[in-house]
Chain A
Amino acid sequence: MSALEMPSSGTEEVAEDSLARPQRSVDRLLAGNAWLVFAFLYLPILVLAVYSFNDNDRVGVWGGASTRWYGEMFTNARVMDALWTSITVAVVSTVIATVLGTAAALSMERYRYRGQRTFDGLLYLPVIIPDITMAVMLLLFFVQAFDLIFVATGVQLSRGVGTITLAHVAFNISFVALVVRARLSGLDGALEEAAADLYASRWQAFRRVTLPLIAPGVAGGALLALTLSLDDVVIAEFVSGAGSTTLPVYVFGALRRGVTPLINAVSVLMLGGSILLVLLSLMVSRRRDQQ
């Protein structure tokens, strides 16, 4: 799962004519392949971005540039509702998952106790489980739980922002724990011992030594959680109610009915948000490298 960690671009330089580098002819082929891959990755996004400024009701026919669809997007109550739901769910679930995930990582890396391996498995499973299975699980769980609560108390709960947040915390704990553990395992255990040797209590050692050192890992985990929460369609679609949906669920629903210029604009907005998060992660990982 190393792919979840932002790989650093190592410092070791491969010399211009080192043998680790391919021969010139092969190198040219590789370069060609690389530019094709970049084109493949970026052209669709660029075309979409350009067409989101298309002043035409028909999405594929260019009718001049305008910000008309962005204006429409910001006045569309359903889009704005969904946007706020998304942001609320993402922020709340990220905060909870970061605290819980960091604690779980500490517990796994810094202590030994019985049953640890079982919990390790429990902590890992949400990472590898397919979205659709997780979605089905949580849907059945909430239906069943709300039935029980209704029978027991007569209160009828319904699915919405709350259930989506609970569901996102459930998978985000594992991702945060994964990232923080990677950071913790690279940390010299002697540092905490040194703190203890210098009269720090366990809590002081954590606050003054461990936490500052794993802070970039915690921040990286939180950003990953935020991204995953904003990305999620499948689980949110299953555990959201009729009243409130997140932005991706709204887009997904609209897509089933067809492509519209409004969806173009919403998509570009979401993309912009993603890119903002990437740049943030890069800044975090750069700080991490510097330490």
Chain B
Amino acid sequence: MTDTGLTTGQRADASSDGTATSAVTLQGVTKRFPGAKGADPVVAVDGVDLEIRDGEFFSLLGPSGCGKTTTLRMIAGFEYPTAGSVQIFGEEVGLEPPNRRPVNTVFQSYALFPHMTVEENVGFGLQMKKVDRDEAARRVADVIDLVQLQGRESRKPKQLSGGQQQRVALARALVNHPKVLLLDEPLGALDLKLRQAMQVELKQLQERVGITFVYVTHDQEEALTMSDRIAVMDGGKLLQVGGPGAIYDRPRTRFVADFIGDTNLLRATAEDPGSARLPDGTAIRLEHHAAPGSDLMVAIRPEHVGLRATDADRDLTLDAIDGEVALVTFLGNATLYEVVGDRGDPPTRVRIRQGNAPGVQHFGVGDRVRVRWAPSSATVLED
């Protein structure tokens, strides 16, 4: 799969010279686990092609069991691919053990050695690499400063809070100056406030150290806020790769549209190029390449849909449906409406998310409304 070409929200420097170095390259990577008791083998990762650029914050996003962690573990060297090639900065490492790979991992459970102090944990990798004792001590001290754990060097992991353990895990990996840092849902065990604070901190840290981060998460918000680029996975397959904006605004498949954020999924029938018709008979403008008469699935984000009173002036640049408000949910910073269209059986249902800025017109259940969206915000899905 290739990028859609849309690079909204993507950092410029990663591809400033047009040919960014590839930090991690996966080609046709497949992983099959033997099935339980005579059952068929389980395909955890299925023919993944992927290029992660040097210096970017790259997220592997998907629900649990989608193969994202297995993909990460194959980059780390904890699993060997059944087929395909894993390259780190151009060097084939697919069958190398993890201790011979220039990458380090921050584990989901942190995997801090319980019998060692913070300092010993952080210094472990340098000790294994036989780094000079003085230099190792200096680097350990530096990285402990970096993650703000000064004064806790001789504590055992159990004596630290969850957030502090997380920092130790980070320091233990970063101290080795890995070429790529792999993070397996590192914030999953933290509570919401701490998680949000750590998201910011991690992102800033990544920008400061300039190391390529490969970040596994099932939390779409986390992926959208932190990443330069995101790969969405499901069922072992790579569905879409792109910047957060591209993934969000132009989901390629129904799964991506549904998994990332809230979305309206509408059925439509293709007509001439540039137009289509909803089941209730409404004609809409739509970019598509399908033959007239074929079925389409259209995604429109609720926040891309506007709400007006029916007596408002008709704006011909927008597509519209008239209907009645069926449900109003107050979300604090926004209000979510559900509108049922007047025509069709079943009628078209559309969700609208409207920010609660001053001056915005509010509606109640039963109010007659007109739902409108710009044709450019409607996306045709591939499945």
Contact = CB atoms under 8 A, between A and B. Distances in A.
Any A–B CB pair closer than 8 Å: yes
Q: Determine chain A's interface SS by DSSP, over half rule.
A: loop
Nearest to B95: A17
Interface in B61-89: 78-80
A129 interface: no
Interface in B97-140: 97-98
Contacts of B33: 15-16
Contacts of A16: 33-34
A16 B34 CA distance: 8
Contacts of A19: 78, 97-98
Contacts of B98: 19
Interface string A121-144: 000000000000000000000000
A18 interface: yes
Contacts of B97: 19
Nearest to B76: A19
A19 B78 CA distance: 6
A14 to B, nearest CB: 11
Nearest to A13: B36
B236 to A, nearest CB: 15
B34 A18 contact: no
Interface in A7-26: 13, 15-19
Contacts of A17: 79-80
With a 10 A CB-CB cut-off, give which of A13, A16, A18, A19 has the most chain B CB atoms.
A19
A15 B32 CA distance: 11
A195 to B, nearest CB: 32
Contacts of B78: 18-19
Interface string A5-45: 00000000101111100000000000000000000000000
A13 B78 CA distance: 15
Interface string B16-37: 0000000000000000011010
Interface of B: 33-34, 36, 78-80, 97-98
Given A13-B36, A18-B78, 10 more contacts: A15-B33, A15-B79, A16-B33, A16-B34, A17-B79, A17-B80, A18-B79, A19-B78, A19-B97, A19-B98
